[in-house]
A and B are shown apart, each in its own frame.
Chain A
Amino acid sequence: MELIGYSCAYVPVEILAATGLKPHRLLHGEIKMAQDGEKYARVDACPLVKSTLSYVVEHREEFRCLVGGSGCDMARRMFDILGKIVDIPTLVIDNPRTDRFSIYSDEIDWLQKELGNITGNKITADAIQKEILRWEALRRHFRTLDEKRRAQPSLISTADFHKAVVNYHKGEIDFPPFIPEKSSDKPRVYFLGSALPYEANPALMLFEERLRIVGDNNCGLSRFLNINCAETTLDGLKKAYYDQPPCIMKRPNRPFYEHVTRQIRELECRGVIAWTLDYCDNYEFELKRLENRIDLPVLRIRSDLSFQNLAQLKTRIEAFAEML
């Protein structure tokens, strides 16, 4: 099945799936691909964006269409570059940073029409309803698993959880996920920051050698569980995606902090891992504010998607775990 690539948590996956194409979130990130991406973007671009550029170029035959959002500047401009280097229709929705639901609503209407025109499959209300039911059932299943991850003691590791959610993001949703239980009494921590690429699972495994991540707010991890579509209509879908706990790039971003601090409190976390990709403005600029708002130890991890500094990273994680 041909793929429809997408990059943003505000792009409703159900509309993409209603085209008959397989939604595939563009979360491919590893150092070699990032370096290859420097043909198209400077070295100081986000490594996930650079990786995605090379991934799409290499797999261009697999994609029928690409969909993005204007949320993060580099991600938005990534589609500008892709529009020049691959012959794939690229649709970028104007995802407002401020609270402007009407803009978002118009843009989703536009996306629905445009995708219908491009793919030749008119996206009907029935098709949307069917996809909402299908994806919502899967999210419900994941929420049940997430309860186990959040339990006291935590029964599922985030590294294993990540392996399962990769399938959701790649549109492989026909089989319900299974995650083996591994109870843990390690210090409970919360994970937040930049998007977590598919290839970053070893980083989670490394963190969880000494810690247990029991909650997160990352694209690529469990953020999609916040999408709770109660009405099986396009309007219901818009509301569900718009009302998700806001991305840090929203202005003002007070609601973001309210959400994560509430989660951290509810999950009884003892520390926070702040994962930022190099040059990720939206998180890097916020780290100090984050520390001021979260009255817990924060382990800052800045990544270029390589694991060159593995030994140093291990030592830092161990020291952090001891501190907790």
Chain B
Amino acid sequence: MIRPVEYIRNPPPAKISIEAWTEQFEKVPDEEIKRYTYYHNNDWGRYLFPPVLFMVYGARELKRLKLDNSFAALRMWGFVFNETERLFRAGQSDKKVIATMGDLGIIPIIIQSFPNCVPFYPECIWWTPFFRESTEMLDFATKLGIPEAACFSRAALSAFHKRAYFPRPEMVIASTGASCDDYSCIMQQVEDLGYEPLWIEIPLRRESQKYLSADKYENAGYPARFEDYLINEYKTVWNKMTALTGINNLNRLKDSIIKANRLRGMVEEMKNIAGQAENQPLPALEMMTIEFGNLYGYADMDEWINIVEMLLDLVRERVAKKVGVLDRNAVPVAWVTPSADPYLLNLVEDLGGRVVATEYVINQALVPVEENIDPFRALARAFMKSSLNGSTSERVKRITGIAGSGQIKGVIITNMLGASHCAMETRLIEKELQSVPVLAIDVPAPFGITEQIRTRIEAFMEMIR
């Protein structure tokens, strides 16, 4: 007979509704709930709750979403939705909360080298209006002066203003330069709310061309001096953190890189085995959430690594058993640029798609960081592989690499109307991916996915099936 815990840990894979999850949650023993905590705190660090609780707290979209039925996924969602509470607790428990904006994946590795320092990305708030099925945060950003046709990351500005989503950060580190304009403009507005951001320069990744000869490109694919620019930037961050904490121990940075690599390695393995499995072991929404965890471990890197370990075990097990959450005949597609609306990922799967490859503009958070060289150079090299500071063809080369192989039958690009890189990249991506059909979708405002969008996806799936 299967004991309840075993059943909860290993149910036959499926995507289930929030009602089904509520029912299933009742079978989770109390000791299991108590076992998982953030910041290793047994008094107030619990985060394992049924998804319906987060719906009651405002994540209304959960009632429409279907989530993976595994215990590992339950643990993941509890942890992810608990982030606001966690950040406020961090502030209350003498941790230093640091807002790292715009670089998506490298600066938190530096921050995590300092004890009791918690990095987070305010821009990741961009999912919140969609989970809440409310345009309130976006409308408020408009009131603050942000155009309506702009990236949904504008919700971050409202979050700074409202002070309800994260505590006042002790430091704001804002990365700008050869990256998207929308967020650079939003970060500039944060300054008006009484912050003095530490501005960090993102260099251009100028790639080799046949007519360029003045710079040495070596093997990196860009002039070596660009790494040196970034090293200077990271050393500035380090010095600021040293001044803030009184600690200056580079061995901790090396350890932090090793930890980041551990996570990156697990996520890479998960993506690879999931992408090649006979049946999709985890839904696209959970996979996207896992991928974005690489940025900063949802403000508790140690616990996030434990969660990802559990998820990786689950994926390995499901793949070994050849079981999954989708129809075996689901059509494999690649997804380019993350969707701000989680429902879209559900919808594509409901309409017969299966996401087997992604380019979510966070390549710098996925690549391994070298461990046997100067840590600042290692971080610079990892960042120089970033998605947005170079050419579009370099950005999507992983997708173009598999486009002709039959591994994917189509590509879905999700855009934000008015976002600078979407406006300029979509046509180029379509051109780069001529060997497969491409569907470009403008993600509408929260609760705005219409029958028209549904029909377009349906038609696309029929075409590529």
Chain A residues close to B by CB (< 8 Å): 39-42, 44-46, 49, 70, 72-74, 76-78, 80-81, 83-84, 89-92, 94, 96-98, 100, 103, 106, 110, 113-114, 117-118, 249, 251-253, 279, 281-282, 284-289
Contact = CB atoms under 8 A, between A and B. Distances in A.
Contact of A70 (B144, B189, B204, B211): B204
Contacts of A252: 188, 191, 197, 199
A285 B423 contact: no
Interface in B2-31: none
A100 B150 contact: no
A73 B147 contact: no
Given A44-B418, A110-B214, A117-B213, A84 B188 contact: no
B280 interface: no
Nearest to A77: B424
B364 interface: no
A175 B420 CA distance: 39
Contacts of A286: 145, 185, 188
Given A285-B145, A288-B145, A77 B204 contact: no
Interface string B144-164: 111101100000000000000
11 contacts: A44-B422, A74-B181, A74-B423, A80-B428, A81-B427, A94-B203, A249-B184, A285-B150, A285-B186, A286-B145, A289-B189
B423 A83 contact: no
B426 interface: yes
B201 A98 contact: yes
B204 A40 contact: no
Contacts of B187: 251
A285 B147 contact: yes
Interface string B177-212: 111111011111101100001011101101001011
Contacts of A253: 188
Given A78-B424, A92-B206, A281-B150, A103 B201 contact: yes
Nearest to B198: A98
B426 A42 contact: yes
A90 B212 CA distance: 9
B196 to A, nearest CB: 9
* Interface-centre pick from A40, A81, A113, A117 (highest chain B CB count, 10 A): A81
B179 A73 contact: yes
Pairs A-B, 4 closest by C-beta atoms: A288-B145, A285-B185, A77-B424, A113-B214
A94 B389 CA distance: 10
B282 to A, nearest CB: 32
Given A44-B417, A284-B147, 11 more contacts: A39-B427, A44-B149, A80-B391, A92-B204, A97-B177, A98-B176, A110-B214, A114-B212, A281-B418, A281-B420, A289-B145
* Interface-centre pick from A76, A83, A90 (highest chain B CB count, 10 A): A76
Interface residues of B, number: 55
A45 B423 contact: yes
A41 B430 CA distance: 11
B420 A74 contact: yes
Contact of B146 (A46, A282, A285): A285
B35 interface: no
Interface of B: 144-147, 149-150, 174, 176-182, 184-189, 191-192, 197, 199-201, 203-204, 206, 209, 211-215, 223, 225-226, 229, 391-393, 415, 417-418, 420-428, 431
* Interface-centre pick from B147, B150, B180, B392 (highest chain A CB count, 10 A): B147
A103 B177 CA distance: 12
A72 B184 CA distance: 10
A80 B424 contact: yes
A285 B420 contact: no
Contacts of A77: 392, 420-421, 424-425
Given A97-B201, A103-B201, A279 B213 contact: no
Contact of A42 (B146, B201, B204, B427): B427
Nearest to B196: A252
A72 B423 CA distance: 13
Contacts of A45: 423-424
Contacts of B428: 40, 80-81, 84
A296 B150 CA distance: 27
Nearest to B177: A97
Contacts of B188: 251-253, 285-286
B417 A103 contact: no
A72 B427 CA distance: 19
A122 to B, nearest CB: 12
Contacts of A114: 212-214
Given A41-B427, A92-B204, A94-B203, A279 B149 contact: yes
Contacts of B214: 110, 113-114, 117
A11 to B, nearest CB: 14
B394 to A, nearest CB: 10
Contact of A73 (B186, B189, B420): B420
A89 B211 contact: yes
B146 to A, nearest CB: 6
Contacts of B204: 70, 76, 92, 94
Nearest to B203: A94
Contacts of B418: 44, 279, 281
Given A41-B423, A80-B428, A100 B229 contact: yes
Nearest to B423: A45
B444 to A, nearest CB: 14
Contacts of B421: 73, 77
Nearest to A106: B225
A63 to B, nearest CB: 14
A114 B187 CA distance: 34
